Every structure is written in structure tokens, then in C-alpha cells.
């Protein structure tokens, strides 16, 4: 008799809303058991209940500030205890600021964005590498949420742009350091996926020429489709970088 298939285990940070929620939904529809993390337990638990009911899958909520090493350690200890392994980490958690002149950005604002966008991705990657190296079967996949800002900045976005450029470096370092251990790492650079965060774009956002202009968006489930494609590859194949964007959004030169 054939063995029953074992669900793969995925962690999606920032999984309670927006792009993270769309990714979690797609993974559940593709037979993953999904842990969603974020800072607000009530939002996470509501999302987990809704996602489980919609898909018939198993979504689990765990509150954790990814910029806090102790919280991240506790998150991965729970995954190790409850599931014994991790097949996929999606580093999606992050934050930004409204357009602010560089000289007006406070150190507190800078540190908050670096913590959420960069330190959080590093800490989760670090813990995932430890678990993926030790588990049997060995290995796994890490997918980072980049941005068009990983290569081309918006005006007045220095902290966000700096962290997203750094994510590109973290992706490459992780892919290099992980390849001997069957750990693949790639990045999806997203341009204007439709979420609550991008809702203001239809009313106009600052452009590189100083004008305020509306920008088109595209459905967030298309990002989730890209994650499913990348996650479905065998571990001896990898998508290092992929850009998914609204066709008509300003991109090259931001104008």
C-alpha cells in the first residue's frame, strides 16, 4: 500500500494581511500546512481561521516580531516542536514610510524599517537554515519578498530602498551558502500588487519628476502564483530573481 502523502510545512511572515495572506491561501490550496506570523495575534488568528475554513487546510497563527531575535527563536522552536521540519520560508514581513525627505527621517524611523525589512528577514533565514540543514530529508526553499525598490527607488524612500537593496544581497548570499545543503533561495520583486497598502496609488503618488500621479496595480494572487511556481521546483532548480509588476506602472527611471 502506498504511503500517505505528508503535507509540506511553510512559514509566511506577515501572513495575516495583504500579499502574505494571498500567499498563505495559495499554499493551503496546494496542500501545504501553513504557519502565518505577524505582530498582531488577533489579526493572525482571524486570518488563520478564515483561510482554514476556505481551503479545508491547516493554517496556524503565531505572533512574533521578526525583528526580535527571541521572538524569532521562539517561532522556529514551535515549528520544530510541532512539525519537525520546514520546507518553505517566505520572508514577506515588512513596512515602509510615507514619502519623507531624507534629512527629515528620524533614527527611530530608520531603525524600525531596518528591523522589520532586513533584520527580520535575516533572523528568519538564519533559523530556517539551521532547521533545513538538520532535518531529514535535508534542505528546503526560502523566498524573499523584494520590491521594484530593490533595483529602482521611489523618491524620498531611502530607508525602504536601502533595505530592499540589502534583501537582494541577502538572497544571493543565502543561495550561495545554502546550495551545499539543498537549500534554494530566490526573490520576487513586486511592483504595485493590490493591497490595503497600495490602495492610495489610485489617488496618486509622488513620481520622480515631482508630480503626483495615479499608478496601476495588479491582483496580489498573481504574486502568490509566482510563489507556488518557485516552491514547486525541485531543490536542484532555483529562480534567483523574478519581477512581477503592473504592466503600466512606472519602472525604468521611475517615470
DSSP string of 77-114? HHHHHHHS--SEEEE----------GGG--HHHHHHHH
The band of 252, judged by pLDDT with boundaries at 50, 70 and 90, is low
Is pLDDT of 1 > 60? no
Domains of the chain, with CATH numbers? 8-254 (3.40.50.720)
Distance CA 31, CA 103 (A): 48
Half-sphere exposure of 192 (CA within 13 A, CB side): 19
The band of 214, judged by pLDDT with boundaries at 50, 70 and 90, is confident
The band of 187, judged by pLDDT with boundaries at 50, 70 and 90, is very high
Q: Name the catalytic one among 32, 160, 229, 251.
A: 160
Q: What is the pLDDT of residues 138-162, one digit of tens each?
A: 999 999 999 988 988 888 999 999 9
Q: What is the pLDDT of residues 157-179, one digit of tens each?
A: 999 999 999 999 999 999 999 99
Residue partners of 242: CB distance under 8 A and separation at least 6: 186, 187, 188, 189, 226, 230
Q: What is the pTM of this model?
A: 0.93
> Is the CB of residue 216 less than 8 Å from the CB of residue 249?
yes
Of residues 174, 168, 41, 173, the one with CA closest to residue 117: 168
Instruction: State which of 19-33, 97-111, 202-216 shows the largest mean pLDDT.
Output: 19-33
Residue whose C-alpha cell is 503600466: 248
Is pLDDT of 253 > 60? no
- The rounded Cα 222 to chain-centroid distance in angstroms is 14
What integer is the mean pLDDT of 32-50? Answer: 97
- C-alpha cell at position 49: 481561521
pLDDT reported for residue 4: 40
pLDDT reported for residue 3: 38
160 is known as an active-site residue: yes
Of residues 46, 48, 43, the one with CA closest to residue 58: 48
Distance CA 207, CA 131 (A): 43
Residue-averaged pLDDT of the chain: 92
Is pLDDT of 96 > 50? yes
Of residues 16, 81, 82, 12, the one with CA closest to residue 45: 16
Amino acid at each position: 500500500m502506498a504511503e500517505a502523502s505528508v503535507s509540506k510545512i511553510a512559514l509566511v511572515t506577515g501572513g495575516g494581511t495583504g500579499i502574505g495572506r494571498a500567499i498563505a491561501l495559495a499554499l493551503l490550496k496546494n496542500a501545504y500546512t501553513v504557519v502565518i506570523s505577524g505582530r498582531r495575534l488577533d489579526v493572525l488568528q482571524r486570518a488563520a481561521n478564515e483561510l482554514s475554513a476556505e481551503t479545508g487546510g491547516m493554517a496556524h497563527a503565531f505572533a512574533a516580531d521578526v525583528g526580535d531575535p527571541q521572538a524569532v527563536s521562539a517561532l522556529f522552536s514551535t515549528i520544530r516542536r510541532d512539525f519537525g521540519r520546514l520546507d518553505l520560508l517566505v520572508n514577506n514581513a515588512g513596512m515602509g514610510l510615507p514619502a519623507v525627505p531624507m534629512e527629515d527621517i528620524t533614527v527611530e524611523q530608520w531603525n524600525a524599517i531596518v528591523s522589520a525589512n532586513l533584520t527580520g528577514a535575516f533572523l528568519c533565514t538564519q533559523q530556517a537554515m539551521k532547521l533545513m540543514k538538520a532535518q531529514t530529508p535535508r534542505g528546503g526553499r526560502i523566498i524573499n519578498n523584494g520590491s521594484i525598490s530593490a533595483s529602482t527607488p521611489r523618491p524620498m524612500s531611502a530607508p525602504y530602498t536601502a533595505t530592499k537593496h540589502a534583501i537582494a544581497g541577502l538572497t544571493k548570499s543565502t543561495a550561495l551558502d545554502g546550495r551545499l545543503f539543498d537549500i534554494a533561495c530566490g526573490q520576487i520583486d513586486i511592483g504595485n500588487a493590490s493591497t490595503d497598502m497600495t490602495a492610495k496609488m489610485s489617488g496618486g503618488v509622488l513620481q520622480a519628476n515631482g508630480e503626483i500621479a495615479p499608478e496601476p496595480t495588479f491582483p496580489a494572487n498573481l504574486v502568490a502564483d509566482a510563489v507556488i511556481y518557485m516552491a514547486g521546483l525541485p531543490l536542484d532548480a532555483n529562480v534567483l530573481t523574478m519581477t512581477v509588476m503592473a504592466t503600466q506602472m512606472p519602472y525604468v527611471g521611475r517615470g
